[in-house]
Amino acid sequence: MVKWLKDAVFYEIYPQSFFDTNGDGIGDFEGIIEKLDYIKDLGANALWINPCFDSPFMDAGYDVRDYKKTAARYGTNEDLKRLFEEAHQRGIRVLLDLVPGHTSDQHPWFLESKKAEPNEYSGRYVWTTHAFEGIGGHPYISGMSERAGAYMLNFFASQPALNYGWLNRTEHWMSAVDSPEAIATKEAMKDVMRFWLDAGCDGFRVDMADSLVKNDDENKSATASIWADVRKMLDEHYPEAALVSEWSNPYQAINGGKFHMDFYLDHWYNGYNTLLRDYETGGEDNSFFRKGAKNDITRFLDDYLPKYNATKENGYIAMFTCNHDTPRPARTLSQDELKIAYAFIFTMPGVPFLYYGDEIGMKYLDVRTKEGGYQRTGSRTPMQWDHSPNDGFSKGRKEDLYLPVDESENAPVLSDQINDPDSLYTFTKKIIHLRHEYEDLQADADFEVIYGEKEKLPFVYRRGNLILAVNPSDKVQSLHHPVFNCRNIICSINQSEINGDELKMDPSSFLILQ
């Protein structure tokens, strides 16, 4: 296992919206460099930067046109290398975003693949033989190329699927997973990884990591074995590099694919969803961290515990405050509710990720779609640094901004929170620093549920030798348990009392006991 992950706290940067230094209205590498001290001070020691490569930006950069060249709007390859160096000088690692499942339809590989004459790239993507032959059960496009055949899509219409072969082959045009063309695709992606690792990056967040082999079995074992092969390359040649998968199935991703980390994504009905965003079902918001909700932690635990127990020896579940595809948690949770939610997220096992702006509780905005964001766009607006024009994000003209800034009167702004001892920012920083201070709060330390009952509170858990308790409700909650005897409070939100074996917690409270 990569050692630095034990104490890693990631900060996700959507580069478009973080900090613009040249006044063109869009964030850039220089902007990230200028804010590294801020990130370090907050306590994050690793970054995940969304795709920053040459792209027509039909999907915010997840449609890569050149894997080895940065998008000019962010800066040059040299600027990105400087970012790696500046980050490393501050003890911060940098993960780039690898998009292995598809490219842009403007990628030179695809332009070659579309040609009627067979060439080196004919088999790089998934194609049928005839223009009138589709791909049952999968999206495809035909009639757009000189080459006869339909090509498969991996996501939007501009993102043709790269060909890693099919496990269950039912048509003659389906490549085998060990065919020369499928192996060439895998080797091309490993070559891209080596290119950036040699340039100084510390690993990758892997987009749609489960999407490579088509008609895979129910364990996605053929896709997993591609990643296990990638992991072998890393272990041999880049032992400090780390991979985190967008998969949300740690059995497959961590145990099968040998990923160091797997994201616990916000999917309807999964355990993570019940914590912060349980508002799509039944018309009522029953998110665990919402005051006045049913506050039922078992809906999380029933999903999480089996996954955690089955994978903890091999890798880490990565829980996040949010990401660029997910509504900001502040969409429904107040700043006080967020403090308790973050207290939980940053004291759980595995590796936590903080999405830029969540440290100040940036809102989910109602804005028009940008670069294929659609409803995701509301979580991608510019960071609110201060009260200067454009919230300090850019010195450019308002009409040139990548997305509008939050202009509401109560928009959270960093400069208001940074010196306020009661702010969300200050608490977020405190809990992250506490995680660094106590090994028992880090990725590997034991996790055990002490009290986690259906619709009952407080929720009490143990990390190593520490006891943590959460009461997100609007009522006082108390519990008798021998673990509370003779303990001191080392961190708390609102009031809690310990008398012998009784813990009494005020509404909206959290505490850590030593």
Instruction: Kindly state the smallest distance separating residue 50's Cβ from ligand NOJ, in Å.
Output: 8
Do 280 and 269 touch, CB atoms closer than 8 A?
no
Of the candidates 261, 176, 199, the residue with the CA atom closest to the CA atom of residue 227: 261
Question: Dihedral of the CA atoms 167, 170, 172, 176 (nearest 10)?
Answer: 10
Instruction: Kindly state the smallest distance separating residue 320's Cβ from ligand NOJ, in Å.
Output: 12
56 near ligand NOJ, rule: CB under 6 A: no
Question: Cα separation of 409 and 423, whole Å?
Answer: 17
Nearer to ligand NOJ, 324 or 370 (CB): 324
Nearer to ligand NOJ, 155 or 385 (CB): 155
Beta strands in 291-424, from DSSP E residues, in sequence order: 316-320, 351-355
Nearer to ligand NOJ, 33 or 189 (CB): 189
Query: x-or-dash pattern for ligand NOJ, window 360-399, by CB under 6 A?
Result: ----------------------------------------
Question: Cα separation of 176 and 435, whole Å?
Answer: 46
Kindly report the backbone phi and psi dihedral angles of residue 222, in degrees, each rounded to the nearest multiple of 5, phi listed first: -70, -40
What string of DSSP letters covers 100-129?
-SB--TTSHHHHHHTSSS--TTTTSB-B-S
Instruction: Kindly state the smallest distance separating residue 270's Cβ from ligand NOJ, in Å.
Output: 16
Q: Which amino acid is at 462?
A: R
Instruction: Kindly state the smallest distance separating residue 153's Cβ from ligand NOJ, in Å.
Output: 11
Question: Cα separation of 206 and 100, whole Å?
Answer: 7
Nearer to ligand NOJ, 376 or 435 (CB): 376
- Residue with nearest beta carbon to ligand NOJ: 62
Instruction: Kindly state the smallest distance separating residue 207's Cβ from ligand NOJ, in Å.
Output: 5
Q: How many of the other CB atoms lie within 10 Å of CB of 495?
A: 13
Instruction: Kindly state the smallest distance separating residue 49's Cβ from ligand NOJ, in Å.
Output: 13
Among 155, 251, 259, 289, binds ligand NOJ (CB under 6 A): 155
Do 381 and 17 touch, CB atoms closer than 8 A?
yes
Instruction: Kindly state the smallest distance separating residue 331's Cβ from ligand NOJ, in Å.
Output: 18
Question: Cα separation of 260 and 95, whole Å?
Answer: 13
Question: Cα separation of 260 and 245, whole Å?
Answer: 8
62 near ligand NOJ, rule: CB under 6 A: yes
Residue 209 in tokens: 């990591």
Residue 414 in tokens: 């960093």
Q: How many residues bind ligand NOJ (CB under 6 A)?
A: 9
Of the candidates 446, 450, 447, 360, the residue with the CA atom closest to the CA atom of residue 405: 360
Question: Cα separation of 184 and 164, whole Å?
Answer: 8
Nearer to ligand NOJ, 161 or 226 (CB): 161
Nearer to ligand NOJ, 98 or 511 (CB): 98
For ligand NOJ, the binding residues in 306-365 under the rule CB under 6 A are: 324-325
Tally the C-alpha atoms within 13 A of residue 357's C-alpha that lie toward its C-beta.
33
99 near ligand NOJ, rule: CB under 6 A: yes
* CA-to-CA dists, residue 514 to 308, 419, 487, angstroms: 24, 28, 5
For ligand NOJ, the binding residues in 244-273 under the rule CB under 6 A are: 246
Contacts of 240 by beta carbon, 8 Å cutoff, 6+ apart: 2, 4, 202
Instruction: Kindly state the smallest distance separating residue 211's Cβ from ligand NOJ, in Å.
Output: 9
For ligand NOJ, the binding residues in 440-459 under the rule CB under 6 A are: none
Residue 497 in tokens: 């009392």
Instruction: Kindly state the smallest distance separating residue 155's Cβ from ligand NOJ, in Å.
Output: 4
Nearer to ligand NOJ, 207 or 216 (CB): 207
Question: Dihedral of the CA atoms 404, 410, 412, 415 (nearest 10)?
Answer: 100
Nearer to ligand NOJ, 324 or 435 (CB): 324
For ligand NOJ, the binding residues in 191-230 under the rule CB under 6 A are: 207-208
Nearer to ligand NOJ, 61 or 472 (CB): 61
Instruction: Kindly state the smallest distance separating residue 325's Cβ from ligand NOJ, in Å.
Output: 5
139 near ligand NOJ, rule: CB under 6 A: no
Question: Cα separation of 37 and 341, whole Å?
Answer: 25
Nearer to ligand NOJ, 59 or 303 (CB): 59
Nearer to ligand NOJ, 45 or 103 (CB): 103
Nearer to ligand NOJ, 298 or 379 (CB): 379
As beta bridge partners, residue 355 has 12
Among 20, 54, 59, 216, binds ligand NOJ (CB under 6 A): 59
Question: Dihedral of the CA atoms 121, 123, 128, 130 (nearest 10)?
Answer: 50
Instruction: Kindly state the smallest distance separating residue 80's Cβ from ligand NOJ, in Å.
Output: 20
Instruction: Kindly state the smallest distance separating residue 255's Cβ from ligand NOJ, in Å.
Output: 22
Q: Which residues bind ligand NOJ (CB under 6 A)?
A: 59, 62, 99, 155, 207-208, 246, 324-325
